[in-house]
């Protein structure tokens, strides 16, 4: 009887260390971490003609939790925000480092840091934890959005330490389904307000009966202001039909 390849790898111990390649060239602990990301709550990022917007599903169902403590839009600097899918404790450690780097740039150079410098630092740290023994990979995908020099940027870094720039992207649960909708219906000429309506429509379609405005955090930055604005709860009613 043929034994599935994954079971063979487990039997041979190729999944016991993040730094051990399987015979077919896989880092199994990294791939397991990627599965963790897909179990995380969803987030959508859009580059609009007047700025950027991130919409994140907090997926908090316990009424005893104070909603503001479960925020999923993280401010790195006033012109850069991020969200995450996967193990949010891992995300917090990466975001904390990013905030320090952003402030050091302001103190050292007297100017706001470029978004690509922040995502590169995050991606480099993730990659490092796939290469050295004694530590596990970060089980989180980071989506970072920012505005710099009259242009909006959206980046996503995966578990391996790769990152790419996007016009629109989704991470977390149902990410492939959401990406299909984005590929089909996303319009680069959308305003931020239209982008929020579009993203809420996608969440309404994917979550169905579980859709609830109180689940969502929204953060946007306009190119002309370069300041983060947050929306949540009843403030989102006007964006949902």
Query: Using one digit for the tens of pLDDT, what is the confidence trace for 138-159?
Result: 999 999 999 999 999 999 999 9
Does residue 77 lie within any of the structural domains?
Answer: yes
Token readout for 181 is 């909708």
- Structural domain including 76 reads 25-239
Does residue 175 lie within any of the structural domains?
Answer: yes
CB 211 within 8 A of CB 237: no
Does residue 205 lie within any of the structural domains?
Answer: yes
Interval 191-238: pLDDT, tens: 999 999 999 999 999 998 889 888 899 999 999 999 999 998 889 999
Does residue 9 lie within any of the structural domains?
Answer: no
Does residue 1 lie within any of the structural domains?
Answer: no
Q: Whole-angstrom Cα distance, residue 36 to residue 159? A: 10
CATH number for the domain harbouring residue 163: 3.60.20.10
Does residue 95 lie within any of the structural domains?
Answer: yes
Does residue 71 lie within any of the structural domains?
Answer: yes
Greatest Cα pair distance, the chain, in angstroms, is: 66
Beta bridge partners of 152: 147
Q: What is the pTM of this model?
A: 0.90
Does residue 49 lie within any of the structural domains?
Answer: yes
Average pLDDT value for the chain: 90
pLDDT tier at 11, thresholds 50, 70, 90: very low
Q: Whole-angstrom Cα distance, residue 48 to residue 9? A: 45
Q: Number of folded domains in the chain?
A: 1
Alpha helices in 129-174 (DSSP H): none
Run of H or E including 98 = helix 88-109
């Amino acid at each position: 009887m043929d034994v599935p390849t994954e079971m063979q790898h487990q039997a041979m111990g190729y999944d016991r260390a993040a730094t051990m390649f399987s015979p077919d060239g896989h880092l199994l602990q990294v791939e397991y971490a990627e599965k963790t990301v897909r179990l995380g709550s969803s987030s959508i990022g859009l580059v609009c003609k007047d700025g950027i917007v991130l919409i994140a599903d907090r997926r908090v169902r316990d009424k005893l939790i104070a909603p503001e403590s479960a925020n999923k839009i993280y401010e790195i600097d006033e012109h850069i925000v991020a969200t995450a899918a996967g193990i949010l404790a891992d995300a917090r450690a990466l975001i904390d480092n990013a905030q320090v780097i952003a402030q050091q740039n302001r103190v050292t150079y007297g100017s706001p840091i470029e978004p690509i410098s922040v995502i590169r630092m995050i991606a480099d740290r993730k990659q490092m934890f796939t290469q050295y023994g004694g530590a596990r990979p970060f089980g989180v995908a980071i989506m970072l959005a920012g505005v710099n020099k009259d242009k909006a940027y959206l980046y996503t870094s995966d578990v391996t330490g790769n990152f790419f720039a996007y016009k629109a992207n989704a991470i977390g649960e149902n990410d492939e389904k959401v990406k299909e909708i984005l590929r089909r219906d996303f319009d680069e000429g959308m305003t931020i307000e239209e982008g929020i309506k579009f993203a809420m429509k996608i969440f309404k379609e994917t979550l169905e009966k579980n859709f609830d405005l109180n689940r969502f955090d929204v953060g946007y930055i306009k190119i002309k202001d370069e300041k983060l604005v947050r929306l949540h709860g009843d403030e989102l009613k006007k964006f949902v039909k």
